[in-house]
Amino acid sequence: MADQVKNPVRQRNLLSVLGLIVIAALFVAVIVLSGQLFRSAKLDLTEDKLYTLSDGTYAVLEDIDEPVRLRFYYSSRISEELPDIGLYAQRVRDMLEQYVTISNGMVQLEVLDPQPFTDEEDHAVAVGI
């Protein structure tokens, strides 16, 4: 008799654990799937539409006939010391990456982090940065 009482409790616990595992697996699958499906989806909820490109920008980027290379000089050391600069640099980088996407590969982005005493630093100084 006692064995019959334990068996339904054990089955309920097993079903509960299996249910939690299935829910966790579905949750992970939804997160991964939504990340893949909505990767290029953007929603700008800022008041001044800071992250929205104008129609003119789209028109120019879609009509580029020959490749354009953009060099984005970004100092990770400075952005660690001054977080506001790091946030602004990320905003600029995101915008440049949108340019690359809209231009269908005609705009190429090169991100450079010039470290002291390197060729990248020499190049940055040579172009006036």
Q: What is the pTM of this model?
A: 0.62
Identify the pLDDT of residue 40. Answer: 65
**High-pLDDT (> 90) share of the chain, %:** 26
The answer to whether 85 and 79 have CB atoms below 8 angstroms apart is yes
Question: Would you list the DSSP string of the chain?
Answer: -HHHHHHHHHHHHHHHHHHHHHHHHHHHHHHHHHHHHTTT-----STT-TT---HHHHHHHHT--S-EEEEEE--HHHHHH-HHHHHHHHHHHHHHHHHHHHTTTSEEEEEE---TTSHHHHHHHHTT-
Note the pLDDT tens digit of each residue in 8-39: 778 888 889 999 999 999 999 999 888 877 76
Show Cβ contacts of residue 62 under 8 Å, excluding neighbours closer than 6 positions. 102, 103, 104
Separation of alpha carbons 7 and 9, rounded Å: 5
Q: Which residues does the chain have with pLDDT short of 70?
A: 1-6, 39-41
